[in-house]
Structure 1
Amino acid sequence: MDPQAFIRLSIDSLGLRFNGGGLNTEKYAIHRLSLPCVGEIRLRGFPVQTTLVPLISSPEVIPDTQSNASSFYLEESDLKALLAPGCFYNPHACLEIAVFTGRKESHCGVGIKRQQIGIFRMQVGPEWGEGKPVILFNGWIGIGKNKQEIGKRGAELHVRVKLDPDPRYVFQFEDVTTLSPQIVQLRGSIKQPIFSCKFDKDRVSHVDPLSNYWSGSSESSDLETERRERKGWKVKIHDLSGSAVAAAFITTPFVPSTGCDWVAKSNPGAWLIIRPDACRPDSWQPWGKLKAWRERGLRDSICFQFRLFSEAQEGGEHLMPEIHINAEKGGEFYIDEEKQLKSVASTASPIPSPQSSGDFGALSPIIGGFVMSCRVQGEGKRSKPLVQLAMRHVTCVEDAAMFMALAAAVDLSIEACRPFRRKMKRGFRHSV
Structure 2
Amino acid sequence: MEPRAFIKVSIGALGLRIPVALKASRTGVHAASSPCFCEISLPNSPVQMVPVTLLSSTTLDAASRTTAASFYLDEPALQKLLTQSCCGASSPPCLKIVVCCGRQRSSCGLRKGKKLGSFKIPVGIEWTERKSVLLHNGWVSIGRDKGDGVSSPGAELHATIKVESDPRYVFQFDGEPAWNPQVVQVQGSMRQPIFSCTFSRDRNSRTRWGLMDGGSSTGWYASGDGNGSKNKDERKGWLAMIHDLSGSPLAMASMITPFVTSAGSNLVSRSNPGAWLILRPEPSAIDSWRPWGKLEAWRERGQDATHFKFSLNQEESSGVSSDLLVAETVLNARKGGEFSIDTGKLRLRPEGSSPTSPVHSPKSSGEFSFTNLLPRVGGFVMKCNVKGGKNKSKPMVEVATRHVTCVEDAAVFMALAAAVDLSVDACQPFSRKVNRSSPSASS
**TM above 0.5:** yes
Name the CA distance, whole Å, in 1 between partners of 2:269 and 2:429.
10
1:211 Cα offset (Å): 7.0
Please state whether the residue corresponding to 2:65 is helix, strand or coil: coil
Aligned-pair CA distance for 1:81: 1.4
Supply the distance in 2 between the matched residues of 1:374 and 1:112 (Cα, whole angstroms).
30
- Residues 52-131 of structure 1 correspond to what in structure 2 (within 5 A)? 52-58=51-57, 60-62=58-60, 64=62, 66-85=65-84, 90-105=90-105, 114-131=113-130
Deviations 1:372-406 (A, max 9, x none): 11111102221111111111111111111111111
Contact 2:144 2:154 in 1 (8 A): yes
Say which of 301, 308, 316 aligns to 2:305.
301
Q: For each residue in 1:301-349, what CA deviation from the matched residue of structure 2 results, as whole angstroms up to 9, or x when unmatched?
A: 1111112112267753312353211111111111111112285535224
Provide Cα deviations, 1:184-224, integer angstroms capped at 9, x if missing partner: 111111111110001112354799444777969xxxxxxxx
Alignment of 1:358 onto 2:373: yes
Q: How many angstroms apart in 2 are the aligned matches of 1:273 and 1:418?
A: 21
- Describe how 1:32-431 pairs up with structure 2 within 5 A: 34-58=33-57, 60-62=58-60, 64=62, 66-85=65-84, 90-105=90-105, 114-145=113-144, 152-202=152-202, 204=204, 208-210=208-210, 228-297=233-302, 299-311=303-315, 316-317=321-322, 318-341=324-347, 343-345=356-358, 347-348=360-361, 349=367, 357-361=372-376, 367-422=377-432, 431=439
Contact 1:312 1:351 in 2 (8 A): no
Q: Shift in Å at residue 62 of structure 1?
A: 3.7
What RMSD over aligned residues (CA atoms) do the two structures have, in Å? 3.0
Q: Secondary structure of the equivalent of 1:412? A: helix
Aligned to 2:225: none
CA shift in 2, pair 1:56/1:194, >3 Å: same
Contact 1:133 1:165 in 2 (8 A): yes
Report if aligned partners of 2:177, 2:421 keep a CA contact under 8 Å in 1.
Answer: yes
The CA distance in 1 between the partners of 2:96 and 2:23, in whole Å, is 28
State the Cα distance separating 1:119 from its structure 2 match: 0.6
Q: Contact conserved, 2:139 with 2:158, CA < 8 A, in 1? A: yes
- Structure 2, unaligned stretches of length 5 or more? 219-229, 349-355, 362-366
**Which digits, 9 at most, give the CA deviation of each residue in 1:383-432, with x for residues without a partner?**
1111111111111111111111111111000001111112688xx98532
TM-score by length of 2: 0.83
Partners of 2:402 and 2:427 in 1: CA distance: 33
Change (3 A) 1:333 1:112: closer
The SS at the match of 1:409 is: helix
Q: Distance in 2 between matches of 1:320 and 1:98?
A: 29
1:128 offset after TM fit, Å? Answer: 0.4
Number of positions where the alignment pairs a residue of Structure 1 with one of Structure 2: 405
Would the alpha carbon gap of residues 388 and 264 (structure 1) be closer, same or farther in structure 2, given more than 3 Å must change?
Answer: same
Give the conservation status (yes or no) of the 8 Å contact 2:327–2:340.
Answer: no
Once residues 73 and 204 of structure 1 are traced to their aligned partners in structure 2, the CA distance between those partners, rounded to angstroms, is 43
* CA shift for structure 1 position 30: 4.0
